[in-house]
Amino acid sequence: MRFPVRLPPPATAAAAAAAAAVLAAVALRRYHLYSRSSMATSAHRRGNAGRTTVVVSGKSPQDRQLLASAAGSLALGEGDAVEEITVSLDSGAGTGLGFDAGAYMGALRAGRFGRWMLWSPRLCSTHDLLAQNFDKLPVGVVCVACVQFKGRGRSNNMWESPPGCLMFSFTSQMKDAQKLPLIQYVVCLAMTEAIKELCCSKELPELDVRIKWPNDLYLKGLKVGGILCTSSYGTKVYNICTGIGLNVDNEKPTTCLNAALQEMKVNSPKLKHEDILSSFFNKFEVLFEIFSNQGFQALEEKYYNSWLHSGQKVVVQDGHETRGVDSVVTIQGLTPTGYLHAIGEDGESYELHPDGNRVSEKEDGNIVLREYRKK
């Protein structure tokens, strides 16, 4: 008979970081303000992969100028696939395409995150743009796109990015490698709380968006969002890129927030992308400060109130064997390293590690986690 594989936590800080990080080098940097005679600049002219336009916005004129100075050297892609990037200072360019940068900045209270913004009507990947240019941009910058054509999720899965989906990535930094794998849970929690608080402030029906471990957002049993966190390691600091896709107006491929609002209340006002984005950063900044100073334990109760899995029965299959009987365990919560903590029918405690993206849900509500790595 097969039993769930009990896996020990990573033995070192480096191992914990490896669970969520793609390592690379980054340098300390300086930013110089300078005036530009031109409203647009080409950042890279090699290759023939196409042209991308990004619009620069800032919470203050100084923030805007700082980002414009940094954005002049952006590059996207490699070799012959390098895209030409045109930087524009026309902060109203997105208004006609459904994103009002002024409204977003006006609602933003966060001081560290989201105060610098790169917006594009069409971009291969917001995540790739920030990850490839991390050392050129201020920490806390956000990149937003109306349409992505190379969006990705965990394990390099493609993320469908139709119009109406709020798609953005932002940067942050952490020094503690042990905390690094848990940052995705803080992001998930911030988004669920931001949506609920936004609905409350606008007197809309509450959208009960829930967290499906490890990094998906669900509403009424359907996926409406996903989070991707990657990181690079520099001098005593981890540089983190976080990408988020959230179905706001697009009812395909699953459902969306505004469709759910209409089902709950006919002719209900709609949530706007700008309001969701500003509310997210307002909430994330508070939770990130708690997480950085007190650890994830200070947020666990809030997190468990927002996730789907407390007391859930889980079917565990060991992918290293071809035959045997599935084992059933009950989820208790998270381990200190961010994996699932479960209790088996034998009374033993188990730490569950999914391999890649092999996490699925059966019709009876149980989760099947396949192909566990033996430690």
Residue matched to tokens 């050392």: 135
**Reported confidence tier of residue 351, pLDDT bands at 50, 70, 90:** confident
Q: What is the pTM of this model?
A: 0.81
As a whole number of angstroms, the distance between CA 256 and CA 269 comes to 14
Q: Residue 231 has which token pair?
A: 């990181």
| Overall average pLDDT of the 344-360 stretch | 71
Residue type, 179: K
In this prediction, residue 51 has a pLDDT band, given cuts at 50, 70 and 90, of confident
pLDDT tens-digit map of 157-200: 555 567 899 999 999 999 999 999 999 999 999 999 999 999 99
What's the alpha-carbon Rg for the chain, to the nearest Å? 21
How high is the pLDDT of residue 37? 28
Higher pLDDT: 25 or 114? It is 114
Q: Across residues 304-313, what is the average pLDDT?
A: 94
Least confident of 18-32, 230-244, 266-280: 18-32
Between 73 and 240, the higher pLDDT residue? 240
Predicted pLDDT at 189: 98
Helix axis angle for 183-201 and 273-294, nearest 10°, is 130
Q: Is the per-residue pLDDT at 7 higher than 60?
A: no
Q: Quote the CA–CA distance of 113 and 281 in Å, as a whole number.
A: 6
Q: Is the model's pLDDT at 6 over the cut of 70? A: no
- Average pLDDT over the chain reads 80
Tell me what the mean pLDDT of segment 334-362 comes to. 77
pLDDT tens digits, one per residue of 229-238: 999 997 889 9
The owner of tokens 């080409």 is 42
> What's the chain look like in SS3?
CCCCCCCCCCCCHHHHHHCCCCCCCCCCCCCCCCCCCCCEEECCCCCCCCEEEEEEEECCHHHHHHHHHHHCCCCECCHHHCEEEEEECCCCCCHHHCCCHHHHHHHCCCCCCCCEEEEECCECCHHHHHHHCHHHCCCCCEEEECCECCCECHHHCECCCCCCEEEEEEEEEECCCCCHHHHHHHHHHHHHHHHHHHHHHCCCCCCCCEEECCCEEEECCEEEEEEEEEEEECCCCEEEEEEEEEECCCCCCCCCHHHHHHHHCCCCCCCCHHHHHHHHHHHHHHHHHHHHHHCHHHHHHHHHHHECCCCCEEEECCCCCCCCCCEEEEEEEECCCCCEEEEECCCCEEEECCCCCCEEECCCCCEEECCCCCC
Most confident of 4-8, 246-250, 362-366: 246-250
With cut-offs at 50, 70 and 90, classify the pLDDT of residue 355: low
Report the alpha-carbon distance of residue 104 to residue 98 in Å, rounded: 12
